[in-house]
Structure 1
Amino acid sequence: MEATTCEDRHMIEMSLPPLATDGTGCFPEIAPRRFSHIGNVFLRPAGLQLYSRSDGGHIRIVRLAVSRDCYEATSGHSIAADPDILRMCLDLRDDRPRGLLKQIHGELAAPGFASAALLEAYGTALIIETARSIAERQERHANLGRLAGWQYRRVCERIEAEGPAPSLAELASLCGVSIRHFNRLYRALTGENVTAHIARTQVSRAMVLLTDEALPLKEVAARLGFTHPGSFSAAFRRATGISPSRYRQQAKWRL
């Protein structure tokens, strides 16, 4: 079975077992060759053509049809015509919308006291939970290409800790990824190379240590993890444009 549909409202739907059927679909106007699995619970966005195909057969569904304006006003969320987001719509994979659609189906099959009011409440909750489900998956998808919050915190804590600067291998290990992948994830999150962060932190620590005139340059270099004072001086000059001794003199004058 093949079909091309375009609805004037958002259709939040669930196939009712045992008559559900597997299918795939794509949005010809957005990504004509990008087919995605159509799950048991899905959303067909308003105003977009959906081409679907399956083995066919008799199916039953429970559906909430809601205007785009009502959906956005209720949830505070809109559905962008983005291939990744539309793919999520076709397979919601969330127990919350599924549970509400089951409740709606049960009430429609056997209406009880104040059925209309209850169905309206279920419908409002379904709109909100569907929007939440899509937004949460969208956020998780966006985070796949960059460091997670806990990974970035570990990296910062290690870079800012006392002692020698960490190696890339150490930082990658803290995040549980390869060095190459770590570099990509870090740059995607911060917009800079991690070595720039390390160098900036080392320079800041060096500036604090250099204000203590009782500390020989050799001791400052050692505390920062440099084997030789000359290496420290060269690194400091590259970062600041002046030597450590010159910076110490200038700091003394400012005091």
Structure 2
Amino acid sequence: MRNPPVERVCVVEMNLPGLNVTIEDARFGREMELAPARHDVVAFNLSRTPVDIHACYISRRARSPYRRFGSVSYVPAGIGLHMFGKEAGASMLMCRFEQHGQNGTFANAGPSDVARLEKCTDIRNRDIVRALERIAEETLNPGLGSETLIAGIAATLAVDLLRLAQGDEDGLSANEQLRRLEAYCAQNIAGRPSLTEAADLCGVTARQLALALKQASGLGFSQFVAGMRLRQARQMLRETGLPIKEISYRCGFSHVSSFTSAFREAEGRTPHRYRLNSQH
């Protein structure tokens, strides 16, 4: 027995040449299937409340591993979806790019590589997210020239999605991702740096950023942050006269005792002894 599709109730609809835009109240069941369609679909969760759903892409010859279904997802024409998770409702922006022979927005994309599509269940690219936000704003509150504006934004969005799906998007290099990660952690070292927030700054998923970090340094995110805390502490001990308690706080340690223990384990001496030795 086939699994039911997602239940949808259309709230607002706008039809443009080659593009259908809707705001829908969607209801996700525990297990769902979306049959391959003749249009490319971009979905944006306007509720901003994450749904606990995982999805895989299915083509005639292959299927992708299951991945988290995020706020923004993309399904090319001719590709099906299988989803499972917890029942939930969400307000969704749906953009459907129609295919008309060789004139469709994605007509020149060629067969979709299912393996490359894995990243498209949870798209974090800021340009794509902002484009969808603007389309949603104009659809819910149309004004002078809204259709022209939406068509222009959608044309750019189509190119960004095509690049993403085919793996040749102008994303950040691994080195740039790690540079942004380090800068983010340095700015937030007194608090609790978040891998998810850092990944958002890099336009990738937390899993992708963690993998890039592991490949480059051999460290997990927690180890990386711990190392930065100690590196900053060493610098402050050498270059400032701040009390050790203050250094402990600025480097993100909750107690001086935990700072002292971590420092001694890494350096073989206490922060006080390290400071004395560095002055000679």
**TM-score of the superposition, structure 1-length normalised?**
0.48
Higher helix fraction: Structure 1 or Structure 2? 1
Larger Rg: 1
**TM-score of the superposition, structure 2-length normalised?**
0.44
